Structure 1
C-alpha cells in the first residue's frame, strides 16, 4: 500500500521583504494576499473591512462565517491573523487581522506590531510572496498615523519572512507621507 503524501512545512523565513508604498485602493491590488483591517466578528464592517467585503463578494463572508463556526466562535482576537479566500478580489487570499483601538493611556503598540508579524506568518504558511497592507488601526480605531506608520515599518523590517514584497496601500496623501517618513532613516 503506498504511503500517504505528507504536506511539507513552509521553508523557514529567510530575509526581510522589500517595502513599497502606494497611494490607492487596497481592493485593486494584484498581490498574493491583501490584509484586511478586520473587526473581531470577521463579518464585515466599515472602512477597509467593508470595502474588502464589498469588492470581494459573498465568498469572503461565507469563509469568515465558517471560521466563526469553527475556531473563532468568540471572534478573532486583537493582533491575531487568519486567511480566507479573496473571492472576487485580484488577490489569492485575504489575511484578516484585528488592530487595537488606540488609547493614549494604555500602550497597545505590541498588539499593532503583532497584526503585522502575524499577518506575515500567515502569508508564509500560504506561500505568498507579495502582500498588501492597509494602515491598520488608523481609521475608526483612532491610532495616530505617524505612530502607526513607525510601528508597521519597524514590524516589517525586523521580521524574517519568505514574503518578497510588502506593499503598504495608503488611502490618502497624509498616510502616504507618514509611511514615507517612517521608511527613511
Structure 2
C-alpha cells in the first residue's frame, strides 16, 4: 500500500526518486511549478524536453498524459511531466485531472521509482478549485495500483496544504 504524506513547501527542494512537474503541453517550461522546476533543475531538463518534442511529441504532450526526463540538478532521479486540464464550468474534466496522477504513477512504475512528489496539479493558472483538486488527487492516488511506496503532495501554501489535509486526515 502506498503511503501518502503532505509537505508544506517548495517542490524543487524535496528529495524523491521522481518529482512530478505540472507542465504545459509544450514541455519547454513556463510559469509556476513548471518554471521553478526548469530553473532549479537546469538546462538538462529542457534539453531532454526538446528531444521529446522533436521525436514523439511534435504537437506537445496531450492533457492527462505523462512523460519522464532527467531531473538535472534537482534532488531526484527523474522529473515526470504531466499536463493538467484547465478548469471549466462548462466541460466535465475531472477525469483528465485524475489521468495526470494515474499516468504519472504508471511512468513512475516503469522507471522503478519508489518515492514520488506531486504538486497540486492544475490549481494555479489553470484555476482548478483547490478542494476539488485535492479530492481528485488523493482519491486517484489511493485507488491506483502502483509499486510506488510513498507519494508526497508538496503544497506551496497553507490553503493547498489544508485542502489536502482534509482529504487525507
Query: Which has more helix, going by share of residues?
Result: 2
Aligned residue runs from structure 1 range 23-38, under 5 A: 23-38=8-23
User: How much does 1:117 deviate?
Assistant: 0.3
SS of the equivalent of 1:160 reads coil
Give the aligned partner of residue 126 of structure 2.
Answer: 141
User: How much does 1:105 deviate?
Assistant: 1.3
SS of the equivalent of 2:77 reads strand
* 2:19 is equivalent to residue 49 of structure 1: no
User: How much does 1:103 deviate?
Assistant: 0.3
Q: Structure 1: 5+ residue runs without aligned partners?
A: 1-15
* 2:161 is equivalent to residue 176 of structure 1: yes
Match of 2:82 among 75, 97, 114: 97
Bigger CA radius of gyration:
1
Query: Which contiguous aligned blocks of 4+ residues in structure 1 show a shift greater than 2 angstroms?
Result: none
Match of 2:136 among 148, 151, 156: 151
SS of the equivalent of 1:139 reads coil
Q: Structure 2: 5+ residue runs without aligned partners?
A: none
The normalised TM-score by structure 2 is 0.99
The normalised TM-score by structure 1 is 0.91
* 2:63 is equivalent to residue 63 of structure 1: no
Aligned residue runs from structure 1 range 113-124, under 5 A: 113-124=98-109
Task: Number of aligned residue pairs: give it.
Answer: 169
